[in-house]
Amino acid sequence: MDILLCGGFLGSGKTTLINKLLRGMTAQGLTVAVVENEAGQEGVDAALVAAGGIRVTPLFGGCVCCQISGELLSAVQRIEEELSPDWVVVEMSGLALMDGIRDTFRRYGRPGLALHTLSVADMARWPKLLRAMEPVVRRQLAGADIVAVNKVDLVSADPTALDQMAALAPGAVLVPISAAGAEPERVWADLRAALSRREGAGV
């Protein structure tokens, strides 16, 4: 069972990306469970869930952040025991810190759990967010295996921004994307390719 933790700033496109990923994954016959935080505005597509192959576990307590990462860990363990899907996808709240959750999984999770971290960066607001909220942006990117550089349909990913992201997420694979416009199969293929590049580099 592989786990994908999706973080990133409020409104950066986490849910949009996750919905595309779920379509791409299930189109390939993979089974997926989703853990959603209650604070999220937009949830996973009801139509996708109704079509089958996807189970949604709401996580109470407001948001998936470091304070309740123990609750997230037990939710994931329960999913593994009860459903054992191919993937568990977790949307973290816009304020969650990737590093803290990662540490909890490393320390207390079942050894061998394949944990992958993805941070969605909003290219359209990147310079503004970095200027105004640097500490938050920094903590959201730290510990990411993959940075999905989203909304490149609005603003293309420029080298300065990519360098800044690479500096905040050392070793991460950066994937420019337009989650809203892309085909689900493309999104899943790009993510899978990024994961294997990252693993090839020795996570």
- Select 25 or 96, whichever has its Cβ closest to ligand GTP: 96
Do the Cβ atoms of 140 and 97 come closer than 8 Å?
Answer: yes
The entry of ligand GTP, Mg ion, none that residue 154 binds, CB within 5 to 8 Å by partner kind = ligand GTP
Q: In which residue are the tokens 């295996």 written?
A: 145
- Select 80 or 153, whichever has its Cβ closest to ligand GTP: 153
- Select 14 or 125, whichever has its Cβ closest to Mg ion: 14
- Select 61 or 171, whichever has its Cβ closest to Mg ion: 61
Q: Which of 7, 24, 85, 94 binds ligand GTP (CB under 6 A)?
A: 94
Helix-strand-coil split of the chain, %, nearest 5: 45, 20, 35
Distance in Å, CB of 154 to ligand GTP, minimum: 5
Residue 177, Cα to own-chain centre: how many angstroms?
14
The residues in 26-55 that bind ligand GTP, with binding defined as CB under 6 A, are 40-42
Using CB under 5 A as the binding rule, whether residue 40 contacts Mg ion is answered as: yes
Distance in Å, CB of 40 to Mg ion, minimum: 4
Do the Cβ atoms of 98 and 142 come closer than 8 Å?
Answer: yes
Instruction: List the structure tokens of 157.
Output: 């990913």
Applying CB under 6 A, which part among 23-31, 75-83, 131-139, 173-181 lies near ligand GTP?
173-181
Using CB under 5 A as the binding rule, whether residue 15 contacts Mg ion is answered as: yes
Instruction: List the structure tokens of 41.
Output: 């505005």
Using CB under 6 A as the binding rule, whether residue 15 contacts ligand GTP is answered as: yes
At CB < 8 A and 24+ separation, what contacts does 64-68 make?
64/35, 64/37, 64/90, 64/91, 64/92, 64/93, 64/96, 64/101, 65/92, 65/93, 65/95, 65/96, 65/97, 65/100, 65/101, 66/96, 66/97, 66/100, 66/101, 66/104
Q: Can you give the binding site for ligand GTP, defined by CB under 6 A?
A: 8, 10-16, 40-42, 94, 150-151, 153-154, 178-181
Which residues form the interface with Mg ion (CB under 5 A)?
14-15, 40
